[in-house]
Amino acid sequence: MDRASLIPGLQNIATRLRIDSIRATFEAGSGHPTSCCSAADLVSALFFAEMRFDPKDPKHPLSDRFILSKGHAAPLLYAAWAEAGAFDRSELLTLRQIGSDLEGHPTPRLPFVDVATGSLGQGICAAIGTALNARRIHSDYRTYCLIGDGETAEGSVWEAANSASMAGLDNLCGITDVNALGQSRPTMWQHEMEQFAVRWRAFGWHAIVIDGHDLNAILDAYAEARATRGRPTMILARTIKGKGVSFTEGNEGWHGRPLKKGEELDRALAELQKQFVPAPVSINLPQQITRPPARPEPPPAPEAVAPPSYKTGDQVATREAYGTAIVKLGEVDPIVVALDADVKNSTFSEKFEKAFPDRFYQNFIAEQVMIGAAMGLAARGAIPFASTFACFLTRAADFVRMAAISNVGIKMAGSHAGVSIGEDGPSQMALEDLAMCRAQPNIAVLYPCDAVSTERLVALAAYHPGPVYIRTSRPKTPVIYSVDDVFTIGGLKVLRESPKDVATVVAAGVTVFEALKAYDQLKAAGSAIRVIDLYSVAPVDEQALVAAGKATGGRIITVEDHYAAGGIGDGVAQAVSQTDIQVHRMAVREIPRSGKPEELLDRFGISAKHIVDAVRAVAGRRPVGAH
């Protein structure tokens, strides 16, 4: 189609997108219409002249992808998909209503949204994942990501800039809506476009500066981005916030404010109506959208994962067993991929890199972009295992939160958890990671204690439908499970029990072995305890915990290499909260220090000696229900 015919149609679509955004936010009584208006021309040209997609099949695996990182402009996104024919335009007026999937910021409740956005600085990281996925499946689909200029103050944006450049993602095109106004004040560089360009070029991107309301310039920029090889492109579009409405254009005080009924709304709509232009020929641009090729055949179901080959008593760190486990998954399922943050030789994800270098993605020391990219990969059908030290994973806490909101199947592995890592000291000791992940209602949290349980749980995690966190340990621990033992997400293992147990000790990971030592010491002294390996920290087996507590005098002792808040103790206490069972929590209760692992376990109150003391203390109390 020639430009003379195309441009008027795109201009009219952009005007409708502005009108729809204003009307939707007006009906909602909240929202960000001026942020939508600034980007309307960019989105109109992208959706109706550049992208290849099927509005009726938005999850098509070969479609171009669009991620709205500036998620507060959600009404613009919804208006574009309605214009394309994905749903009826009347639904736009349900924006932000509790019964509507058109939420204030986009979530994957909508089939055309890959990942939840709105926590700024995340969309561009997820876009890296969708671009990497195109490479994984040998597709030429492209990924586009619209970010805000204020958003570029976020460090995660520059983690993404580094990562995409290093990977040479020429199938990734970013678009910065440089409208110069943030929420509370003008943005950092306002309309100094060269300040943006010099930064993106310094990070290795091809930067294009344009007038973001000149449709010819926008189309030229998209074409130039498509033709660029060997590096990603960032289109820097100078725009006006509130474009199209004279009294909002470039003015402060309009962020997050819908127009008021009466003069504001009527005047704005009247001004926009006058901006429609006659087209030289009648063209239905939504019907002209280029569709992707036919859907490929789905891959065959993967074969069974090879069973563990360890023998009881073998000394193997669970972090090493994790590396072995993901290789075994990769051998039977080509959609399994791995991501690293420059600790592959400590998490043992390097085993996966050696076996499958084309499915291993190095993010260097950039945990936010690692988790964000994993989200993008998962949204496009991959099973990504992202690994780092558990303490460094907490740097990406907001990305973990957004992964939970997105409910994408990312699999996170945090190694070197707790004081049991030893001499490296408190900066390296994750003691809050279980709390971070347990706080999200749909993240499964797994904490294996030996190599067999690690392999089994990693395989379960891969095909669990939502996000999973796997906590692994640095020290070598003995294999205690048979290769025939069965594990489930939401399960536990009772390792020791008798009718005479005076208390139940619930442990996980390294503290399982402290509990077993305590069992032996108490047994030698003529006392018995029940020992449970709570390998599934979330969800937990409430029924089994209650049964164990009731069978042992209403006494449960939890012991964990984690701070007291949010970990195993809280999980168990919640599980038995509707009973009279008492939960005594043993955890790290102060900032630790360097030392040998066994010294630290003892000093901070979670060693076998402390468990013995705790059992004797609680067993000397009157049992629950006694008179």
> Which residue of the set 320, 367, 514, 560 is catalytic?
367
The pLDDT score that the predictor gives to residue 626 is: 44
Pairing of strands 336-340, 360-362: parallel
- Residue where the block lists tokens 């204690």: 449
The one-letter code for the residue type at 467 is P
Look up 590 and say whether it is catalytic.
no
DSSP 518-562: HHHHHHHTT---EEEE--EEES--HHHHHHHHHHTTTEEEEEEEE
Average pLDDT over every residue of 479-485 = 97
DSSP 9-62: HHHHHHHHHHHHHHHHHHHHT-S-HHHHHHHHHHHHHIIIII-B--TT-TT-TT
Would the pLDDT of 93 be above 70? yes
pLDDT tens profile 223-244: 999 999 999 999 999 999 999 9
CA–CA gap between residue 614 and residue 606 (Å, rounded):
10
pTM for this model (two decimals): 0.96
HSE-CB at 479 with a 13 A cutoff on CA atoms is 22
Instruction: Tell me how far the alpha carbon of residue 400 is from its chain's centroid.
Output: 5
**Beta-bridge partners for 336:** 383
Domains in the chain, CATH or no CATH each:
3-288 (3.40.50.970), 315-478 (3.40.50.970), 493-619 (3.40.50.920)
Distances (CA, A) of 352 to 44, 330, 357, 385: 42, 8, 7, 10
Structural Rg of the chain based on CA atoms:
28
pLDDT tier for residue 621 given thresholds of 50, 70 and 90: low
CB atoms within 10 A of CB 282: 7
Contact 567, 438 (CB under 8 A): yes
Would the pLDDT of 174 be above 70? yes
Is 605 exposed, middle or buried, given 0-12, 13-18 or 19+ CB atoms closer than 10 A? middle
Would the pLDDT of 627 be above 70? no
pLDDT tens profile 548-606: 999 999 999 999 999 999 999 999 999 999 999 999 999 999 999 999 999 999 999 99
The pLDDT score that the predictor gives to residue 362 is: 97
The percentage of the chain sitting over the pLDDT mark of 90, rounded to a whole number, equals 95
The one-letter code for the residue type at 388 is T
The pLDDT score that the predictor gives to residue 278 is: 87
Would the pLDDT of 625 be above 60? no
pLDDT tier for residue 255 given thresholds of 50, 70 and 90: very high
Average pLDDT over every residue of 162-169 = 98
pLDDT tens profile 360-416: 999 999 999 999 999 999 999 999 999 999 999 999 999 999 999 999 999 999 999
The pLDDT score that the predictor gives to residue 623 is: 53
Q: Which residues contact 518 (CB under 8 A, 6 or more apart)?
A: 505, 529, 608, 609, 611, 612, 615
